Amino acid sequence: MIVRFALIFSCAFSIASGLLPTVGMAAGPNAYLCVTELATGFTFDKQAKRWSIAASPMGRYVVSRRQPDEHRWDGALPYEWKVIPVGSRSPEAFCNEDLANENALICRGDSEFRLNKKALRFERALLGGYWAQGFAYPGGQEGDFTPSLSMGKCNPM
């Protein structure tokens, strides 16, 4: 009787041990709140016609998994995660997990947003206001869009 119990317990423990890492890794947080700690940017003085360094807003962002019935409004490629500035209803970037590194999210859209899920740090770049003038924003004036870079920390929600 004791031998049978030990054998059953041993088999059950082996099966559970094999499943636990899979369950733990798949679960993970479904959302993060990311808060900017440092930010810098650029501005264009239209009278002097020159660019200079400027303060950039200290943003907060919710990075969350896509819901099963959720799709991009523009019909573009599927995504796994989205980045939404706090106070906005629209995502500014969409992400897929990096297949080479399960702790990395690289998100692209109106901004580029990178999240290290292990270190709980992020970087956000808003690019194009200087470089793309004249062709990416038809009819726009120089300085209408200003580049910025920010970084901060995230917490699981």
Are the C-beta atoms of 56 and 40 separated by less than 8 Å? Answer: yes
In a domain, 100, yes or no: yes
In a domain, 114, yes or no: yes
In a domain, 12, yes or no: no
Torsion of CA 16, 20, 23, 24, to 10 degrees: 160
Residue 108 phi, psi (nearest 5): -135, 150
In a domain, 22, yes or no: no
User: Would you state the pLDDT for residue 138?
Assistant: 66
Handedness of CA 77, 78, 84, 87 (dihedral sign): positive
C-alpha closest to that of 36 among 102, 81, 86: 86
Q: Provide the domain limits for residue 125.
A: 29-69+76-156
In a domain, 6, yes or no: no
User: Would you state the pLDDT for residue 73?
Assistant: 60
Structural tokens at position 133: 């003038």
In a domain, 45, yes or no: yes
In a domain, 7, yes or no: no
Block means of pLDDT (10 residues each) for the chain, 157 residues, are 40 38 55 97 93 93 84 67 94 82 89 96 91 67 88 97
In a domain, 11, yes or no: no
| Number of domains, the chain | 1
